[in-house]
Structure 1
Amino acid sequence: MILYRSFIQLCLIVIFTSRSVSALAIEKRIPVPAGYVAPPYYPAPRGGWTSDWSESYRKASMLVSNLTLAEKTNITAGTGIFMGRCVGNTGSALRAGIPQLCLQDGPLGIRNSDHNTAFPAGITVGATWDKDLMYARGVALGEEFRGKGINIYLGPSVGPLGRKPRGGRNWEGFGSDPVLQAFGGALTIEGVQSQGVIATIKHLIANEQEMYRMYNLFQPGISSNLDDRTLHELYLWPFSEGVRSGVGSVMIAYNAVNGSACSQNSYLINGILKDELGFQGFVMSDWLAQISGVASALAGLDLSMPGDVHTIPLLGNSYWMYEQTRSVLNGSLPLDRLNDQVTRILATWLQMGQDQDYPPPNFDTNTQDAEGPLYPGALFSPTGVVNHFVNVQGNHAEVAREIARDAITLLKNVNGALPLSQNAAIKVFGTDAEKNPDGINSCDDQGCNKGTLGMGWGSGSSRYPYLDSPIDALKKRGVNYQFFNTDNFPSNSNPSPNDTALVFITADSGENYITVEGNPGDRTSANLNAWHNGDKLVKDVAAQYGNVIVIVHTVGPILMEEWVDLPSVKAVLFAHLPGQEAGDSLAQVLFGDVSPSGHLPYTIPKSESDYPESLSLVGFQVGQPQDTFSEGLYIDYRHFNKENITPRYAFGYGLSYTTFTFSNASVTAITPLTSVPPTRPAKGETPSYSTAIPPASEAYWPSNFDRIWRYLYSWLEKSDADAAASAANSSNKYPYPEGYSDVQKPGPPAGGAQGGNPALFDVAYDISITVTNTGRAAGKAVAQLYVQFPSGNPLDTPIIQLRDFAKTGALAVGQSQELRLRVTRKDLSVWDVVSQNWIIPNLEGDYGIWIGESSDALSLRCGTQSGTCEEGVPSPV
């Protein structure tokens, strides 16, 4: 049932845009605005030139040298949608010991599996501001994916960055700041890959809304138009850190950037990712994002997923597989490019040690039955045991619970309304307090907002093994409560002056192949308001009860102005998206077992008009929809600070049941700086192969081979292979794109290693600070470090920018802990569009290093010029 429903959903995506059937009438493409360009960058840089990958490339080159043409092309594409046990399945080269590779969603847990953990979403992890928990979640995810025999984890997500507050998939990432996203993504990668699982950082790049993102038969995907500084200083920053952490795979986005589809944008893949950032792994398409064959290969795409064409992916057609075999034989695709594709994939497989005792898949994403079709997308398929129901949860519920608990963000607490007494008389309102009555996994890919909201919907979701709801936690504690399972204020609640009312409200979003309550992924119907008339429910309860606590499960910012200042609303908690551990994690904070220590990973405005107009969702446009990032660097708190707009709650804000002081700060210069980084290291050697086109016989179908309908194969009929080989000698040559070259480049000055020039990551300043608990309860504090560029800076920069953060352990009353933070060369640099390098624009200027508990509460300043720190200084914003 799920399989056929997925087929129908897929067909609808292909045939229609996400909002309007009127998109069928497309006559011309809207040109990209002047000044936004995607220049050609060829050829694709070969991988293997960094020393930390050289041994894996040496081993991979030995394998590749012995593969046939058809075996090589078989490895570079998926075998077709629904044509295997995983959401993506590569071809294999079993003769050489190379198995199919299993690719599986998603960022917060294994999608469509069993006996797995449904972890808190990325946005919840970001709200912890805890690097240790970011890494621990990555390790736990890696253990679970490996335990299920999954080779490639399709996460973490750091794009979208959260530029648009109503964007459907912001919740999969870690927050609306590139540094917060970068730490969340990099630490997740390091944790996952510590278990031998290949991580996939996604989606490159500027994939900031769900509507109109995909190319289809009738309309090109949306073009995200952004300038070079904005690209580097905001959207590329988390990807750079992910590459620096050694990520094995990068997933390309559906949309275009500056008019060129990401899947064949040579400047983006070849120039930025593989050359400037020194990415050594392989680049894959998002599912059905590939829109060409040879062009995408030349532009640097290495792996096509799931292998089918993007137009009608139901007929067994592919841009690669057999077509790529043909393209090599007829000379249109240089063998050198194919060899690099295969080498990158196999080097990554070897880099993670997956050639040694790695388990095969033991689950099937297409069915929950023990037995089923081996190739569900085929008309006729052999069957067998596909699910072994392997329990991979271990003790991961503890990690999930700690993240859910430490992410809870206290935004308001009048006169110590929280924590609650165990003896409090409690009335609970709102369906979000209890599990979905239809079943916790009753909606495919969590495509509904019923019951406790633990995650958004779409491919980034996971099935719950169980869901510990807030009501479950209240029952377990034995507190005195009465629950009204409705989103309308009931007439029979019988308010009493001694009652405390807990009101649960939500805001949901997800991926655009599912529309929930009129929201096609992005929050279009609900806008930034609470769902299910949540604002009215809070106001109605507040009119009858004198002590109201509002608890919000949300994908991002919501508007609160209708009720947040009501006298009866004594406290507000954002519990974000807690995953399976929604109940006890909340109860521990509500009843004071622990003090809340979460901080907002985004700004909460007073009105949606507080944002610049360019951050609105782009609606239907004839031709290619254009989304121009005219606000540049000024998103989220950067914009609010620039325009002197006071938000309802600032980025990084979060209260506690206790208080902290920051003192004894010191700043120490570590690395002498120059305005331009030292010269980058030269590239090392890369594998080399014969460039002679192989004989057509390497592409012939094996004799007596039993073919599966719709399964994608890399072989050609003998006549087709021979004809392709003959075409290589004809006078008709492939029309290579403008700017094409087959001469390898030495690389841009900003490159030199994974993540860029290694000098960029030299520590310029060490900062130490003492945090002391000066209140009445134990608690954890977060120290946030922002950099302010000196006056006289010739380039426009935001007033403050987050550059580092650290979280204490649980400090007892009176206890202190020293935290250490750092500022790197890159943290003090801007991207120079002329020299195409990172520069420090005012080397002799006094950079302000500000430390505080949120972006609007910075009272401790260290100066790079004086080398001293001051307390009690007026905040820069």
Structure 2
Amino acid sequence: MVALLVLCCASVVAGAAIQQRDPVPAGYVAAPYYPAPHGGWTADWSESYRKASALVSNMTLAEKTNLTAGTGIFMGRCVGNSGSALRVGIPQLCLQDGPLGVRNTDHNTAFPAGITAGATWDKDQLYRRGVAIGEEFRGKGINVHLGPSVGPLGRKPRGGRNWEGFGSDPVLQAFGGLLSIEGIQSTGVIATLKHLIANEQEQYRMYNIIKPGISSNVDDRTLHELYLWPFAEGVRSGVGSIMIGYNAVNGSACSQNSYLMNGILKDELGFQGFVMSDWLAQISGVASALAGLDMSMPGDRHDVPLVFGTSYWMYEYTRSVLNGSIPVDRLNDATTRILAAYFKMGQDQDYPRPNFDANTQDAVGPLYPAALFSPEGVVNEFVDVQADHAVIAREVARDAITLLKNEDDLLPLTSSASLKIFGTDAEKNPDGINSCADQGCNKGTLGMGWGSGSARYPYLNSPIDGLKDRSANYQFFNTDSFPSNSNPSPNDTAIVFVTADSGENYITVEGNPGDRTSSGLNLWHNGDRLIRDVAAKYANVVVVVHTVGPILMEEWHDLPSVKAVLFAHLPGQEAGDSLMQVLFGDVSPSGHLPYTLPKSEDDYPDSVGLRGYQIGQPQDTFTEGLYIDYKHFNKANITPRYAFGHGLSYTTFSFSDATIVAVTPLTATPPTRPAKGETPTYSTAIPPASEAYWPENFDRIWRYLYSFLEKDEADAAAEIGSSTAEYPYPEGYSNVQKPGPPAGGAQGGNPALFETAFDVTVTVTNTGSRAGKAVAQLYVQFPSESTVDTPIIQLRDFEKTSTLEAGASQTLKLRVTRKDLSIWDVVAQNWVIPVVDGDYGIWVGGASDNLHLRCGTATSSCAGDQTSPV
């Protein structure tokens, strides 16, 4: 297919410059898809669209464009502040980071990061964490929560922001995202699923005046079966907003990629909410609107110094509608989508206004900090939104702790154990727990990565605090070098605290610009050496790792004295007590790895390495296809240090008495999709220029972005709009609404895809001597007669038991959907079951490499003691 030509960055008054995209490898195509589908055609959004359309029908042109963009960076209390339409009762919307808690405020909870929540493999905790986060955002008066994150997926082990998501598998990531969305939106806050899509590294992600952002080149099947999977589930859960990424996909910037926004997201997945840009990710005006972008954040242009307060939208959007370059129905749909999400969450009913300021911790300050002259007022009211959220934060941090190794049953510790503690990670940053902006340093206990996904700590319960609270018998050496005065004793147990950090690339920490470039997958602060040195002097060593993702352990893992290894991931504010509950055996560890731990970086395919500098647009081609993380290791027959899903307990479990029951008869393709319902209708006539004029006696704030035009500008634009001049629309442009692709039909896609094909039950029994929780992981193996290349096993569901006492059992229910047994057919552009009558293996067990219970879909029978497929 011929590469698209895109409209880039030009004023619509002078006409748009057409620029040839940088070439991408053959076969990677961002096909044109127009027009932007209208929202409102699913029954579950019909009432909110009815309310929204009634309002939009009564709004002026300038009021509509005012809602589609931010008022400028640092031009309000929140990280993003939309315009308002006060005449019809719509206030500014407050948009605020981040996925693990309210960023840059006070009296909030610093929850465990997404990767930590994913390591719990606990659906109930994922949901309750989402509810607690939503309550805090609502309590601060935030309309739109900029989370959860399911992109990056974790394709690159060194990727800087993998820790914001839930793990390196699309199903684990999907459950983390959708349960968080359901929890957040249950409180009336609009959740934002991000970043669409294939945004897998930090370096070179952003467009600037010198260089385009990196192009993630992804084939259609891989896009659907891996990277889009969690977005589809998030849309199915009713998410109100989706944020596009900075990067390009197949050569076309996400912010103006019509195939992604119009074709996949709004048509195939039936997304009913609004699409926003990442901050300064928008690179064009008309092109991004036509391609399906609904809201520009924070409103400014990326290619002009921010001090000038210029925008691709706001007044330019108003001009573009008047001069006919953007159809009126595109603006109407964008505005309706924003308001529909607002009404869907009930934000028209006594929703609080912002009571904090992300720009300062002072009570009084400028209302518009980036303005040359700004009025001042009360900007922080210091509202405490923590409630009892420390409880769920502590539970998640505790139940995520993953015991990888426990030789000689060294753990749990006795209350009288003689402990020697090593490593600065055991205690708080001596400069202050919030001394580094956006946590942009690695000093003291590592509770989260850095960047916009961070939050301020209200307090930090460090491991040393946890030991103090227990009156433990310990001596602490607050250094990352082995001290000469530790005086080892045969009765001592040494605990070594080590870290690996990463974050967003506007901050560089110890030579790592977001991604782990200089550190690689090694421990920071000479952690490997510290462990080796301690292990040389002490007979019993426990290693506790706070990490953003995979690390290398080969230098010390097999040392005889390294008896136990725990991954505490990124625990947030409750790092200490949550760890103590596991170390001292109050609870058995129940976390499982949300990614694979390699023995060497060479174990990964070269294609998942970080892309360095390239002339022109950097190209990142996903040649590994479906084979990332455990799927790659299994295909390449590489034994990792620890497999995806691995996690030990202080007790043991058995999986038995499984059943499988067919629920929905299967066909090669799903039943025909439902037709779209009715959508709001509006006049398509260009509105009068007077709707764009500046109001009389309007008090303007310098650098604030407004949607109004001077009278002569508005009149001039309207004159063009009434002429016969034809705007140079992009290749493939049309303004005729489509019925939608066969794979669509509801939020998330064709609803038949999510029908349960098979119900599976399994009895989990605690066969050990201590209480504990187990996770049943369900993987699908495609039939041997299938000619379609698929990974050996793929995670499709999981469930966690309640706490089981010794000898107790619990029956867990899992399910396999039609989509779980399907592949994406790039020719049919639909989900297809390749062997309808084949015997799909449904494997259940405690880790991806510990599967010994198999159910067959053809025989409707299950058997234990089977040879694990990997």
Quickly name the TM-score band, shorter chain normalised.
over 0.9
Q: Tell me, yes or no, if the aligned pair for 1:28 and 1:623 is still in contact at 8 Å.
A: no
SS of equivalent residue, structure 1 residue 853: strand
Aligned partner of 2:772 in structure 1 is 779
Q: Does 1:547 align with 2:554?
A: no
Structure 1 residues 603-651: Cα deviation after superposition (integer angstroms, max 9, x where no partner) = 0000000000000000000100000000000000000000000000000
SS of equivalent residue, structure 1 residue 786: strand
Q: Quick one: distance in 2 between partners of 1:140 and 1:558?
A: 31
Structure 1 regions of 5+ residues with no counterpart?
1-26
Q: Quick one: distance in 2 between partners of 1:632 and 1:422?
A: 50
Write out aligned runs for 1:644-655 (5 A): 644-655=637-648
Q: Does 1:56 align with 2:48?
A: yes
Question: Post-superposition shift, 1:314?
Answer: 2.5
Aligned partner of 1:488 in structure 2 is 481
Q: What is the number of equivalent residue pairs in this alignment?
A: 851
Q: Does 1:561 align with 2:554?
A: yes
Question: Post-superposition shift, 1:805?
Answer: 0.2
SS of equivalent residue, structure 1 residue 125: helix
Q: Does 1:416 align with 2:409?
A: yes
Code of the residue aligned with 1:546 in structure 2: it is A
Q: Does 1:749 align with 2:747?
A: no
Q: Does 1:80 align with 2:72?
A: yes
Q: Tell me, yes or no, if the aligned pair for 2:766 and 2:807 is still in contact at 8 Å.
A: yes
SS of equivalent residue, structure 1 residue 582: helix
Code of the residue aligned with 1:355 in structure 2: it is D
SS of equivalent residue, structure 1 residue 412: strand
Q: Quick one: distance in 2 between partners of 1:627 and 1:621?
A: 10
Aligned partner of 1:761 in structure 2 is 754
Aligned partner (choices 470, 478, 481) of residue 477 of structure 1? 470
Q: Quick one: distance in 2 between partners of 1:706 and 1:772?
A: 70
Q: Quick one: distance in 2 between partners of 1:773 and 1:315?
A: 65
Aligned partner (choices 355, 360, 364) of residue 362 of structure 1? 355
Aligned partner of 1:467 in structure 2 is 460
Q: Quick one: distance in 1 between partners of 2:435 and 2:75?
A: 25
Q: Quick one: distance in 1 between partners of 2:22 and 2:758?
A: 47
Code of the residue aligned with 1:807 in structure 2: it is K
Q: Tell me, yes or no, if the aligned pair for 1:785 and 1:803 is still in contact at 8 Å.
A: yes
Q: Does 1:145 align with 2:121?
A: no
Aligned partner of 1:791 in structure 2 is 784
SS of equivalent residue, structure 2 residue 482: coil
Aligned partner of 1:665 in structure 2 is 658
Aligned partner (choices 424, 445, 453) of residue 446 of structure 2? 453
Aligned partner (choices 140, 149, 152) of residue 157 of structure 1? 149
Q: Quick one: distance in 1 between partners of 2:724 and 2:508?
A: 52
Question: Post-superposition shift, 1:734?
Answer: 1.1
Aligned partner of 1:273 in structure 2 is 265
Aligned partner (choices 384, 388, 398) of residue 377 of structure 2? 384
Question: Post-superposition shift, 1:733?
Answer: 2.0
Q: Tell me, yes or no, if the aligned pair for 2:22 and 2:251 is still in contact at 8 Å.
A: no
SS of equivalent residue, structure 1 residue 314: helix
Code of the residue aligned with 1:268 in structure 2: it is L
Aligned partner of 1:264 in structure 2 is 256
Aligned partner (choices 153, 164, 172) of residue 164 of structure 2? 172
Code of the residue aligned with 1:460 in structure 2: it is G
Aligned partner of 2:730 in structure 1 is 737
Overall identity of the aligned pairs, in %: 80
Q: Tell me, yes or no, if the aligned pair for 2:21 and 2:252 is still in contact at 8 Å.
A: no
Code of the residue aligned with 2:164 in structure 1: it is E
Q: Quick one: distance in 1 between partners of 2:425 and 2:722?
A: 68
Q: Quick one: distance in 1 between partners of 2:654 and 2:41?
A: 48
Q: Quick one: distance in 1 between partners of 2:187 and 2:865?
A: 45
Q: Quick one: distance in 2 between partners of 1:28 and 1:332?
A: 20
Q: Quick one: distance in 2 between partners of 1:264 and 1:799?
A: 36
Q: Quick one: distance in 2 between partners of 1:167 and 1:194?
A: 31
Q: Does 1:373 align with 2:378?
A: no
Code of the residue aligned with 1:481 in structure 2: it is Y
Aligned partner of 2:218 in structure 1 is 226
Aligned partner of 1:134 in structure 2 is 126
Q: Does 1:580 align with 2:573?
A: yes
Question: Post-superposition shift, 1:28?
Answer: 9.9
Q: Quick one: distance in 1 between partners of 2:408 and 2:20?
A: 62
Q: Tell me, yes or no, if the aligned pair for 1:202 and 1:253 is still in contact at 8 Å.
A: yes
Structure 1 residues 240-283: Cα deviation after superposition (integer angstroms, max 9, x where no partner) = 00000000000000000000000000000000000000000000
Code of the residue aligned with 1:811 in structure 2: it is L
Change (3 A) 1:310 1:471: same
Q: Quick one: distance in 2 between partners of 1:766 and 1:593?
A: 35
Write out aligned runs for 1:286-305 (5 A): 286-305=278-297
Code of the residue aligned with 1:56 in structure 2: it is S
Aligned partner of 2:240 in structure 1 is 248
Q: Tell me, yes or no, if the aligned pair for 1:78 and 1:306 is still in contact at 8 Å.
A: yes
Q: Which stretch of structure 1 is more off in the superposition, 311-320 or 150-159?
A: 311-320
Q: Which stretch of structure 1 is more off in the superposition, 698-707 or 727-736?
A: 727-736
Q: Tell me, yes or no, if the aligned pair for 1:30 and 1:622 is still in contact at 8 Å.
A: no
SS of equivalent residue, structure 1 residue 242: helix
Question: Post-superposition shift, 1:712?
Answer: 0.1
SS of equivalent residue, structure 1 residue 823: strand
Aligned partner of 1:844 in structure 2 is 837
Q: Quick one: distance in 2 between partners of 1:422 and 1:708?
A: 63
Question: Post-superposition shift, 1:730?
Answer: 3.3
Q: Quick one: distance in 2 between partners of 1:784 and 1:331?
A: 55
Structure 2 regions of 5+ residues with no counterpart?
1-18
Question: Post-superposition shift, 1:728?
Answer: 1.4
Code of the residue aligned with 1:235 in structure 2: it is Y
Structure 1 residues 476-506: Cα deviation after superposition (integer angstroms, max 9, x where no partner) = 1001100000000001101111110000000
Write out aligned runs for 1:691-702 (5 A): 691-702=684-695
Code of the residue aligned with 1:760 in structure 2: it is L
Question: Post-superposition shift, 1:47?
Answer: 0.2
Q: Quick one: distance in 2 between partners of 1:306 and 1:71?
A: 17
Q: Does 1:194 align with 2:214?
A: no
SS of equivalent residue, structure 1 residue 715: coil
SS of equivalent residue, structure 2 residue 649: coil
Q: Quick one: distance in 2 between partners of 1:666 and 1:427?
A: 49
Question: Post-superposition shift, 1:29?
Answer: 6.9
Question: Post-superposition shift, 1:731?
Answer: 4.0
SS of equivalent residue, structure 1 residue 671: coil
Question: Post-superposition shift, 1:30?
Answer: 4.7
Question: Post-superposition shift, 1:842?
Answer: 0.4
Structure 1 residues 558-591: Cα deviation after superposition (integer angstroms, max 9, x where no partner) = 0000000000100000000000000000000000
Code of the residue aligned with 1:739 in structure 2: it is G
Aligned partner of 1:513 in structure 2 is 506
SS of equivalent residue, structure 1 residue 875: coil
Aligned partner (choices 694, 703, 710) of residue 710 of structure 1? 703
Aligned partner of 1:235 in structure 2 is 227
Write out aligned runs for 1:311-460 (5 A): 311-312=303-304, 313-460=306-453
Code of the residue aligned with 1:600 in structure 2: it is L
Q: Quick one: distance in 1 between partners of 2:326 and 2:765?
A: 63
Structure 1 residues 317-360: Cα deviation after superposition (integer angstroms, max 9, x where no partner) = 00000000000001111001000000000011000000010000
Q: Tell me, yes or no, if the aligned pair for 1:47 and 1:686 is still in contact at 8 Å.
A: yes
Question: Post-superposition shift, 1:794?
Answer: 1.4
Q: Does 1:690 align with 2:690?
A: no
TM-score between the two structures when normalised by the length of structure 1: 0.97
Aligned partner of 2:523 in structure 1 is 530
Aligned partner of 1:45 in structure 2 is 37
Q: Over the residues paired in the alignment, what is the CA RMSD in angstroms?
A: 0.8
Q: Tell me, yes or no, if the aligned pair for 2:754 and 2:817 is still in contact at 8 Å.
A: yes
Q: Quick one: distance in 2 between partners of 1:542 and 1:580?
A: 29
Aligned partner of 2:583 in structure 1 is 590
Aligned partner (choices 624, 631, 643) of residue 636 of structure 2? 643
SS of equivalent residue, structure 2 residue 308: coil
Code of the residue aligned with 2:259 in structure 1: it is Y
Q: Quick one: distance in 2 between partners of 1:578 and 1:361?
A: 28
Aligned partner of 2:201 in structure 1 is 209
Q: Does 1:36 align with 2:28?
A: yes
Q: Quick one: distance in 1 between partners of 2:796 and 2:351?
A: 38
Q: Does 1:121 align with 2:107?
A: no
